[in-house]
Amino acid sequence: MIVLGIETSCDETAAAVVNDKREILANRVLSQLDDHRPYGGVVPEIAARAHLEHLDRLVAEAMDDAGLEFSDLDAIACTGGPGLIGGVMVGTMTAKAIAFAAQKPFLAVNHLEGHALTVRLTDDVPFPYLLLLVSGGHCQVLIVEGVGKYKRIGTTIDDAVGEAFDKTAKMMGLGYPGGPALEQIATKGNPDRFGLPRPLRGRAGCDFSFSGLKTAVRTYMDGFPIDQQTEEVKADLAASFQRAVGDTLIDRTRNAVFEFMRDYPTGKTLVLAGGVAANKYLRGRLTELTDQAGMQLVAPPLDLCTDNAAMIAWAGLERFRLGERDDLDFKPRPRWPLDPEAPKRPGAGVKA
């Protein structure tokens, strides 16, 4: 079984081919970072136009890499949401056109399900597992019972964790995207220098909050005259910030681990997924938690943490082999929660 995947929900244009032997036959990702950098963030219209300009070529390259024709595919999958709607429309229309022309089944994949199921492609992780989904638009803990079966047990009540990284990095003048830049300078910093809050620490439940942390960094920055905002100050602040994020993630996820172990005694895995899962420091910190709990931490390789189309092809393949298909009149979805039963939270990220 071979599936082509297309990803266009944010600022990566991507096409990939995977098969049911868990092999990635092609994985092309074109980052639009240079297009958006002058604006300090992703500009939706620029993103949509760039997807339109590059997607056909990337699909052709991915098919070439895999050495396949469209007629060799079993299905075509694309991100159907959530995300920036112009980009999602470009990917969806392209996938539908290929599916229609090649007379192949079409699947519209939830981008978050792509992140959620990546570890089944890379590590064959069995259900159920506990998932900490940390990206630019999300910070959620979910119990993954199966394909399409998600139970959200915690979420951010304000900023997403990647958003907190990006905003903090921006106020420190580290440019865009902030997460990787902040991680980079934090390696040279002293994490004990600045006292920062650990929002919601010790409280019941598994919700997260990051906006207070970001404000505290701003207060420190504002306390330094501009000529004293040295590389050393920034590195120490970045390291202190990253440690506070690590402590917060561990504290909140610990409650989720207890709940998961109580209700799903066969589950042994905590999965870390989404763009922020590329952070090596946080990956390391979360193993403290899984070691204590007798669980295993699994995170995809770095290039499959950030947005890519292999995860979309794989999620499409998982749904396809369960007999699922989508109609060609599928409407792209700017919002698409993994657990539609979970109560909406007012500040919970742009894509929740």
Which spans of this chain sit near ligand KG4 (rule: CB under 6 A)? 10, 135-137, 162, 165-166, 177-180, 183, 274-276, 278-279, 306-307
Dihedrals φ, ψ of 153, to 5°?
Answer: -115, -5
Distance of CA 114 to the CA centre of its chain: 9
Nearer to ligand KG4, 184 or 219 (CB): 184
Q: How far is the CB of 38 from Zn ion (least distance, A)?
A: 23
**How, if at all, do strands 24-31 and 75-81 pair?**
unpaired
CA dihedral 50, 56, 58, 60 (to 10 degrees): -170
Q: Which residue, judged by CB position, is nearest to Zn ion in the bound state?
A: 307
In the complex, least distance from residue 81 CB atom to ligand KG4, rounded to whole angstroms: 11
- Rank residues 154 and 177 by Cβ distance to ligand KG4 and give the closer one: 177
Q: Which is nearer to ligand KG4, 165 or 314 (CB)?
A: 165
- Residue with smaller CB distance to ligand KG4, 73 or 168: 168
Minimum CB separation of residue 350 from Zn ion in Å reads: 12
Which of Zn ion, ligand KG4, none is residue 176 near (CB under 5 to 8 Å by kind)? Answer: none
Q: 293 or 305, CB closer to ligand KG4?
A: 305
Q: For the CB of residue 294, give the shortest distance to ligand KG4 in the complex, in Å.
A: 27
Report the C-alpha dihedral over residues 343, 254, 218, 42, rounded to 10 degrees.
-60
CB of 309 to ligand KG4, least distance (A): 12
What's the N-to-C CA distance of the chain in angstroms?
32
Instruction: Specify the residue, 92 or 135, whose C-beta has the smaller distance to ligand KG4.
Output: 135
Shortest distance in whole angstroms from residue 261 CB to ligand KG4: 27
The least CB distance from residue 138 to Zn ion, in Å, is: 8
Which does residue 278 bind out of Zn ion, ligand KG4, none, counting CB within 5 to 8 angstroms by kind? ligand KG4
Which partner in Zn ion, ligand KG4, none is near 314 (CB below 5 to 8 A by kind)? none
Q: Which residue is nearest to ligand KG4 (CB)?
A: 275
Q: Which residues bind Zn ion (CB under 5 A)?
A: 135, 307
Residue whose CB is less far from ligand KG4, 183 or 207? 183
Cα separation values, 308 from 29, 30, 216, 287, 336, Å: 6, 9, 33, 25, 18
Q: Rounded distance, CA 314 to CA 306, Å?
A: 15
Query: Are β-strands 139-146 and 149-155 bridged in parallel, bridged antiparallel, or unpaired?
Result: antiparallel
